[in-house]
Structures are given as structure tokens and as C-alpha cells.
Copies of this chain bind each other. A is one copy, B any other.
Amino acid sequence: MGNGTLKIRRIAIDTYHENVAYLHRECEIYRAEGFQALSKIQVSADSQRVLAVLNVVDDASIVGPDELGLSEQAYAQLNVEAASLVTVNHAEPPKSMDAVRRKINGERLSEEDFHEIARDIVESRYSKMEMAAFLVATGHNNLDRDELLFLTRSMLQSGERMDWHEALVADKHCIGGIPGNRTSMLVVPIVAAHGMLIPKTSSRAITSPAGTADTMEMLAEVNLPPEQLHHIVSHERGCLAWGGTAKLAPVDDMLISVERPLGIDSQGQMVASILSKKLAAGSTHLLIDIPVGPTAKVRHMGQALALRKLFEFVGDRLNVQLEVVITDGRQPIGLGIGPALEARDIMQVLENAPQAPADLRQKALQLAGRVLEFDPDVRGGHGYAIARDILDSGRALAKMNAIIQAQGAKQVDLHPGKLCHEVCAEENGVITSIDNFQMANIARLAGAPMDKRAGVDLLKKLGDNVGSGEILYRIHAEFPSDFKFAQNLAEQNNGYTIGTNAQILKPFVVF
């Protein structure tokens, strides 16, 4: 190897959201240990380069002294042929960390600062530690409204932006935290059946038991190339696809990969994340759903109102027509939690089945009605009745089936996992509260969303009467280890409280 080059080698290790490079301790050219104390190294091949954390290897069968290994993610990013020659350099710490340090010291940042931070993050110059530092420094109330606007705009501009070439591109988005709240899969067919454009791209679940993309995937392909997506949307006026293939506001995804495991989720970051993603997806009209409840993300009405103002302030300045609805977030929506079980609930609502969960139907109709009122031809207050008519007449179901066919229908089997554990009431009474967070965790430990048939199926909801020994819910799983994890968690705390009618948790809002 002349000229300080090493042979690149792909290491079959998936290091998730962090690039890792592997250097043999006895590397012939670079002293591995000297490099390791650095936060990152830069690997270059011709014009391509990638930044990575360095691990030192003592086993030549993993990486040899004349080689440089890259983890799957880093190898894909560098995008060169096997055994290409690369050089290694000290990665300069990202320049924009100066701005982060200024923010830590209480200063106000400029729009240019935010743009530089977003650029460095999107170029993988930030380590996870550095992103955590940025998130904490800009968390809580540390951003004023203008800084929040700057952050949102710089996240939006960090990636590509879709253009549907129409004046009204509708979308709805819930801030999350309520299990089973899959209203998008009802709102989209209703709104598209009305003729309004609603090209919905969704995320997969990260820490929740199901995302819209995970649930839709029970019925149809969701991983669609851009051309097919455009074709479907122009024919059907709507879609329910996974948004991960498009490069929309990539900084958002990178920050989320740090924010979620840390459990920090400030109002400002939530607004920047949602609005940058939706604007990048080409939305012109946006309905935001903020559920309020003691185990929801937003716990008090005052907090919900403050969040609404933030959405309105930033949305107005980014030229999106934005409406916020505050909804009842006291308990899960529908009965099923997990991709298969949630898809079952949705199809029952679309099919007007008698056993369809009424709360899911009601909430979807309310939201669809509000979206329909973005149409200048719909009179204020008439949206709900139009939505109900579309649903009751079967036109929503027909539209959903058309979207499913267009995306690529799957053989449908919505049976839940075969391992089943029944969680029963220990006393007589009325259900006075259901913990959203705990129910989501039980479903997640049972294997959802990776294991699509795993999850929780609720038999009792708030206000229902229950007798001692009666089933509250069933845990479904397919893998014994997951099944045990979920059972253990439910034994510690089953998420339900039973009491008297007077103790039933009151809604903060009546939707």
C-alpha cells in the first residue's frame, strides 16, 4: 500500500445510526490508538468521504493490518467498490459546535448558525453525543419563537422538497403518544374520495408499538419509488406510503434517533420536526392533532394551547395553512395496539362493521371533516357530515381498496400472534383510567412493530363495567422471549385502574 492508503473492507456489522470504522491495532500506516481518542475520523476515496467513529480490532480475520473496515451503514454511504483504496484523516470537530457551545452558554443563535448546524448534521459531522448536546441546549424553553422558526427552516432546507403542482395539498399529523391512534388510514381514503389531494407519507414506529407505515404494510406495499408514488397520487388523489425513501428533512430523522432514546422531546423540537417534515413533503394545508391527557405527551390544557401557538407562529411564517385541534388523549384509541390489530380495527370501521370501535370512527370523522373544510367549497361546520356520508356510503372503503391495489395489495391476514396471555381484573368496578404509556410499552415488549402480529387487544375501555376475573385485554406475541418480557411488564403494572363511576378520569376537552 503506497501513499498512506488502505484497502476498504465491508464489515457485516449493522451499527444502526452511527458509522463505525474498524482499524487493526497493528495497522501498517496509521496508529490506531492515537486516532481512537478522537470523536470521529474521516475516510476518503477519491471525491467520496464518510465520517465514522473508530473501533480498534485485534483480529485480522475481521480486518487486516492493510485494510480499513466500515460498518454496513458507513460502507453504503462511502459508496465505492470493494477493495478500493482509501485514506484516513482526523475529522475536524464540526465548526458549528461553536454555535452549540454558545447556545449552552445562554446566547441567542442566528439563522445562519442554525443553517450551519443543520448542514454539519446532515453531512454526518455530528456524533450522537454532539447531537445530544444540541438537543439539550435547544430543549425546554431555550429557543425563542424566532429561533424556532430558524431551526424549522434550516431542517426543511437540509433535504429535498416535494412539489405536487397543486394549490391544495392536504395532510394531517398527530403529535403522537396515544396507542391505536391510526386515524390517518381513515382520513386519507375519506379525503381522497372527496377529491382533495392527500399524499400521506408516514414514518415507521421508533419507540411506539406501530406507525402508520407499519400498519398499512399489513395491507399493501408502502416502500414505493418516487415515480410510482406520483403516479398513484395523481390517479387516486391519495396514498399511504412510507416516507423514509424520500430524502425529506433528513436532519429531523437524525435528531430523532438521539431524542427518542434520551426521552427528551421539547415543544420546540416537536414543532420543528413536524413542520419541516410536512413542508418538505409538499403540504400546503395541515391539520395538527394534539391529544391531551394525564398519560399523553401533552398533559394539561395550558400546555396544549402554548403548543398550538408555536405551531401557528411557525406555520404562518412558512406559508402553510395550519389548523390545530386539541383532542381527548385519556386512553388508547380503538381496541387493537400493534400493526395487525390496528389494521383490523381500521378495516372494521371502513366496512361499517357493527363491532368496529366507535371512538376510532368518531375521531377519524372529526379529523377528516376538518381537513375537508380546507376545501373552499365546503361550508364551515359541514365537513363532518360529508366525511360521514363518504364513510357510510362505502366510498371510503372503495377508495382504500383502490389505494391498496395501486400500492400493491398483500395477502391479508390480520390474525394476532398465536401466543396469548389474558390480563384480568382483580376486583369489581368501573375502568377509571388506562395508561397510554404503559399499554404502548407492553405492546412494544410483546414485539410490535417488528413483529406485526404482536400487540395488545383491549376488551375494556374507560367507563366500562368489569367484574373480578373478567378479561381487561389480551397480549399477543409470536416469540416466547418477547411474550415473557411483555407478561412480566403487565404483571408489574397492568396499566388499568378500577374504581367507581365518580373516579372516572374526566376529559380535558370534549371533542
**B-contacting residues of A (Cβ < 8 Å)?**
4, 11-16, 20, 22, 25, 29-31, 33-34, 36-39, 54-59, 61-62, 71-72, 89-90, 93, 97, 101, 104-106, 127-133, 135-137, 139-141, 206-207, 258, 261-264, 445, 447, 450-451, 479-482, 485
Contacts and interface: CB of A to CB of B under 8 A. Distances in A.
Contacts of A482: 31, 34
A4 B481 CA distance: 7
Given A31-B482, A58-B72, A132-B132, 19 more contacts: A4-B481, A11-B62, A16-B37, A16-B55, A29-B481, A31-B479, A34-B451, A37-B206, A37-B261, A61-B61, A62-B62, A89-B485, A97-B262, A97-B263, A101-B263, A106-B140, A127-B261, A129-B258, A133-B136
Given A29-B481, A31-B447, A133 B262 contact: yes
A61 B63 CA distance: 12
Given A264-B133, A481-B30, A485-B89, A56 B104 contact: no
Contact of A130 (B30, B56, B262): B262
Contact of A129 (B101, B104, B129): B129
B262 A12 contact: no
A50 B106 CA distance: 37
Q: Which of A12, A58, A61 has the most CB of B within 10 A?
A: A12
Nearest to A450: B34
19 contacts: A11-B62, A12-B57, A12-B59, A13-B55, A13-B59, A14-B36, A30-B481, A31-B450, A34-B447, A105-B140, A128-B128, A129-B129, A129-B132, A129-B258, A129-B262, A132-B133, A133-B136, A133-B262, A136-B137
A131 B133 CA distance: 9
A107 to B, nearest CB: 10
B136 A450 contact: no
Nearest to A62: B62
A350 to B, nearest CB: 29
B450 A104 contact: no
